[in-house]
Amino acid sequence: MAGSSGGNSGGKKKARIEIIPLIDVIFFLLATFVLFTLSLNKSGGVSGINLPASETGENREPSSVTISVTEAGTIAWNKDFISLAEFIDRLKTYKVQEPDGRILINGDEGALFNAALYVFDEARKTGFQKVFIETKVRQVGK
């Protein structure tokens, strides 16, 4: 045994699985999933709107137009903030393009009722029959 190095002479090396890089990859995928999920917004409205809760709320079909009323009373058309005059013009244009269109109104629970009622009234005056108010479902008994 002259000249032997004293290690595994001629034996098979065992494969090692390094766990630290595997944990890094798993945390990266988890973080990516969480950020992606947070960026999803079910409605086409402005993000950051805190919807009021309702026990009688129902699941809805996707709406063609979402009008948001923020807590400050500003109006947004599919995430684009607009003035009141532009709101009326867009309603009329949308009525010509989609005579049987659907309008979803989502308003912050801190928004003035008067602002949401104004949006609802103008949509009905323009001739839309399918005007809905978006809420989140409140758990029964809470």
Any idea what the CATH number is for the domain that residue 104 is in?
A: 3.30.420.270
Q: pLDDT band at 55, cuts 50/70/90?
A: low
Residue 72 lies in a domain: yes
Alpha carbons 77 and 90: distance in angstroms, whole number: 8
- Residue 76 placed within a domain: yes
Pairing status of strand 130-134 against strand 136-137:
unpaired
Whether 114 has a pLDDT exceeding 60, the answer reads yes
pLDDT, mean of residues 104-131:
83
First to last CA, the chain: 81
Structural domain span for residue 60: 53-137
- Report the domain count for the chain: 1
Mean of per-residue pLDDT scores for the chain: 77
Q: What is the token pair recorded at 142?
A: 């809470």
Q: Give the type of residue at 10.
A: G
Query: In this model, does residue 7 exceed pLDDT 70?
Result: no
> Looking at the domain assignment, is residue 6 inside a domain?
no
User: Is position 65 within any domain?
Assistant: yes
The whole-angstrom separation of Cα 137 and Cα 27 is 32
Check residue 16 and report its DSSP letter. -
Kindly state whether residue 32 falls inside one of the protein's structural domains: no
Percent of the chain's residues with pLDDT above 70: 70
Q: What is the pTM of this model?
A: 0.55
Mean pLDDT of 79-85: 86
Q: Is the pLDDT of residue 16 over 60?
A: yes
In this structure, is residue 30 part of a structural domain? no
In a domain, 89, yes or no: yes
Say if 142 falls within a structural domain: no
pLDDT at residue number 35: 82
pLDDT of residue 29: 92
